[in-house]
Amino acid sequence: MAITREEVLHVAKLARLELSDDEVERLTGELSAILEAVSKVSELDLSGVPPTSHPLELVNGWGDDEPHESLPLEQVFANAPRREGDLFRVPPTT
Amino acid sequence: MNGIDTLRLTAEEALGLLERRDVSGAELHRAYLDAVAERDPELHCYLRTVEEPAGDGVPIALKDVISTEGVETTAGSRILEGYVPVFDATVAARCKVAGLPLLGKTNTDEFAMGSSTENSAFGPSHNPWDPTRVPGGSGGGTAAAVSAGLAPWGLGSDTGGSIKQPSALCGNVGLRPTYGTVSRFGVIAFASSLDQVGPVARNVRDCALLYSIIAGRDPADSTTVEVPEVELPESDSLTGLRIGVPRELNEAEGIEPGVSEAVQRAIAVAAELGAEVGECELPRSVEYGLACYYLIAPAEASSNLARYDGVRYALRVEADSYDGMVERTRDVGFGDEPKRRIMLGAYALSAGYYEAYYGQAQKVRTVIVREHAAAFERFDVLVSPTSPTVAFALGEKAADPLAMYLSDLLTIPSCMAGLPGLNVPCGLSDGLPVGLQLIGPQLSENTLFRTGHALEQALGFDPVPERLR
């Protein structure tokens, strides 16, 4: 199961990673090898077997809907790279 | 050092010293920091230490994926360098309530992705038995710290083996608890359907004691469950216990002969202690477990790590546009292994591949759950080596991701099924520790503690690294 350079670039876009040319080249090789190994799961005929998304048979761990204090804004912004008033400042989304 | 031998002192003994007022909490904390000053320059277990103890109890080391209010928490990643949490993870808060002062934050593979700590952005930790070798990973910092007397106990986190495997390679006791018994609130997420926090200690009783402090339902984590009362193990008999030896976990390709021999001896000792030992099978769990894990864990990781976007906290690399800023921040901030797993996960979840990869892996997970359930109809505990090898040399597997992934071959299947697993040291091979893995059904921690304790007493393994004795 080989992955192409174009597919690597497409997935990098989906994953929001600006990869360097070297990284794209290395990942193309590494991901192809890993995908070949994990493709082993397709050997099994599992039609009729339900999927497991979670190891516990828990359904809806409800909490009480009670009002409580949120984090103070000073704490919310404590680690912010850039703040403007009570907003996170980011570059334009053009 | 106040006469405190941090290499030998167990947490339970330390508790006794504190209760009798033979030492103060501050003296105990200082004794460990003195040991850190002496030995950590060589071992690099800690990313940072805390000089002023908050609490008079037995001090503790926390893996750097656990949020600690006011203490930098990086998950071993540049993208979180300088990040100082404004709240405690529930497990950190529980340690505080129990009076356990923080010694420091321990090294980890970046975002807990790895089996050697070599993926830490801040450099690897070293194995206290032989510093040219890895301590295992991802929780190698905690495991090495406990074995080197730099902490009496600590917490790790385990997704596919990150507590059990480093404990095996460093020669101490580590528990990956049943999924849902320990809160994940405030723990930096890797793969949410697998991540579990658990204790690492020098013996089984300390491990059980620490588990009793951190386990229990947490309203802030809706995947947590009520936990049976923890019993500190006392008996040295295994009469009535049914031990299963899964053939595939014990005969897998790549298990070193010295590892097999030590595990076989431990199984023979279990039989002498009164356990009934029989063979069983987990045919597809072992053959397909690794492939299943390396689809599901990266898929969940690609989603969890989407939050590091340079907007709200930690690293930002500026650019003219929002998209450019996000993409550049993530390229600069993430190391090679998180990038590999994000890419793998995003690919496995992408249109056209979802059913063949992620969907199929979820069905394999059902098969793994069922195979283990069938084995537990006949047995109380399953045993195998924890790691196929003893500690390997730094650099030996760093260049080959697939070779590194095989380090977790034997720990992954039970993790996929949400089962608890305990590593107990069972001997040496070439002068390096070998770990025995004990696996039980969900919520069977007390049985694992009882089994591990009895074996520990009978095997008489000395957990202090030979070169430090």
Partner-chain contact A46 B367, CB within 8 Å: yes
Partner-chain contact B331 A41, CB within 8 Å: no
Domain housing A12: 1-42
Average pLDDT, stretch B114-136?
Answer: 98
For A31, list phi and psi in degrees, rounded to 5: -65, -35
DSSP summary character for residue B98: T
Partner-chain contact A7 B346, CB within 8 Å: no
Partner-chain contact B364 A90, CB within 8 Å: no
* Of B274, B278, B454, the residue nearest B377 (C-alpha): B278
B353 touches chain A (CB under 8 A): no
Tell me, yes or no, whether A7 lies in a domain: yes
B20 touches chain A (CB under 8 A): no
Strands B276-280 and B381-385: unpaired
Euclidean distance between CA atoms B18 and B12, whole angstroms:
10
Catalytic residue chosen out of the listed positions B162, B183, B285, B384? B162
Report how many domains make up chain A: 1
Partner-chain contact B222 A56, CB within 8 Å: no
DSSP 3-state of B180 = coil
Per-residue pLDDT of B411-453, as tens digits, reads 999 999 999 999 999 999 999 999 999 999 999 999 999 999 9
Partner-chain contact B311 A56, CB within 8 Å: no
> Would you say residue B1 has pLDDT above 50?
no
Which residue of chain A is at minimal alpha-carbon distance from B289?
A41
**Do you find a cis peptide bond into B138, omega within 30 degrees of 0?**
yes
Which residue of chain B is at minimal alpha-carbon distance from A35?
B344
- Kindly report the nearest CA distance between residue A65 and chain B, in angstroms: 11
Amino acid (one-letter) located at B445: E
B165, containing H or E segment: helix B164-170
Question: How many other CB atoms are found less than 10 A from the CB of residue B370?
Answer: 15
Burial (Cβ within 10 Å: 0-12, 13-18, ≥19) of residue B287: middle
Partner-chain contact A40 B342, CB within 8 Å: no
Partner-chain contact B363 A50, CB within 8 Å: yes
| Residue positions counted in chain A | 94
The domain that contains B265 carries what CATH number? 3.90.1300.10
Euclidean distance between CA atoms B272 and B206, whole angstroms:
25
Tell me, yes or no, whether A25 lies in a domain: yes
B384 catalytic? Reply is no
Asked whether B165 and B407 are in contact (CB, 8 A), the reply is yes
> Would you say residue A1 has pLDDT above 80?
no
* Of B394, B374, B392, the residue nearest B382 (C-alpha): B374
Nearest-10 Cα torsion for B48, B49, B50, B51: -130
Euclidean distance between CA atoms B451 and B467, whole angstroms:
29
Question: How many other CB atoms are found less than 10 A from the CB of residue A27?
Answer: 24
Average pLDDT, stretch B308-321?
Answer: 96
Looking at chain A from residue 54 to 73, which residues have their Cβ under 8 Å from any Cβ of chain B? 54-56, 58, 61-63, 71
Question: How many other CB atoms are found less than 10 A from the CB of residue B139?
Answer: 36
Tell me, yes or no, whether B265 lies in a domain: yes
Average pLDDT, stretch B375-395?
Answer: 98
Per-residue pLDDT of A25-73, as tens digits, reads 999 999 999 999 999 999 999 999 999 999 998 888 787 889 989 999 9
Partner-chain contact B302 A46, CB within 8 Å: no
Tell me, yes or no, whether A22 lies in a domain: yes
Asked whether B458 and B427 are in contact (CB, 8 A), the reply is no
Average model confidence (pLDDT) across chain B: 97
Per-residue pLDDT of B141-163, as tens digits, reads 999 999 999 999 999 999 999 99
> Would you say residue B2 has pLDDT above 70?
no
Tell me, yes or no, whether A23 lies in a domain: yes
| First-to-last C-alpha distance (Å) of chain B | 16
* Of B412, B402, B452, the residue nearest B161 (C-alpha): B412
pLDDT at A64: 83
User: Vertex B466, ends B410 and B27: CA angle to 5°?
Assistant: 100
Tell me, yes or no, whether B446 lies in a domain: yes
> Would you say residue B81 has pLDDT above 80?
yes
B116 catalytic? Reply is no
Q: What is the pTM of this model?
A: 0.97
pLDDT at B139: 98
CA distances from B65 to A14, B156, B219 (A): 26, 8, 20
Taking CB atoms and an 8 Å cutoff, what residues of chain B touch A32?
none
DSSP summary character for residue B382: E
Catalytic residue chosen out of the listed positions B63, B96, B164, B397? B63
B235 catalytic? Reply is no
> Would you say residue B3 has pLDDT above 50?
yes
Cα dihedral B237, B241, B242, B244 sign: negative
Tell me, yes or no, whether A59 lies in a domain: no
DSSP summary character for residue A85: T
Taking CB atoms and an 8 Å cutoff, what residues of chain A touch B323?
16, 93
**Which of A13, A31, A52 is best to mutate for the B interface (most B CBs within 10 A)?**
A52
Euclidean distance between CA atoms B198 and B184, whole angstroms:
10
Asked whether B57 and B209 are in contact (CB, 8 A), the reply is no
Euclidean distance between CA atoms B266 and B245, whole angstroms:
12
Tell me, yes or no, whether A55 lies in a domain: no
Catalytic residue chosen out of the listed positions B138, B147, B167, B387? B138
> Would you say residue B5 has pLDDT above 80?
yes
| First-to-last C-alpha distance (Å) of chain A | 37
Looking at chain B from residue 176 to 215, which residues have their Cβ under 8 Å from any Cβ of chain A? 179-180, 193-194
Euclidean distance between CA atoms B387 and B424, whole angstroms:
12
> Would you say residue B196 has pLDDT above 90?
yes
For B6, list phi and psi in degrees, rounded to 5: -65, -20
pLDDT at A58: 80
DSSP 3-state of B243 = strand
A88 touches chain B (CB under 8 A): yes
> Would you say residue B133 has pLDDT above 50?
yes
Which residue of chain B is at minimal alpha-carbon distance from A40?
B291
Domain housing B378: 11-281+368-468
> Would you say residue B245 has pLDDT above 80?
yes
**Cβ burial B93-131 (10 Å sphere, 16+ → b, else e):** bbbbebbbbbbbbbbbbbbbbbbbbbbbbbebbbbbbbb
B449 touches chain A (CB under 8 A): no
Euclidean distance between CA atoms B440 and B448, whole angstroms:
7
Among A60-74, B85-99, B322-336, which stretch is predicted with the lowest mean pLDDT?
Answer: A60-74
Average pLDDT, stretch B21-32?
Answer: 96
Tell me, yes or no, whether B444 lies in a domain: yes
Percent of chain B with pLDDT over 70: 100
* Residue B413: half-sphere exposure toward Cβ, Cα within 13 Å: 33
Tell me, yes or no, whether B169 lies in a domain: yes
The domain that contains A8 carries what CATH number? 1.10.20.60
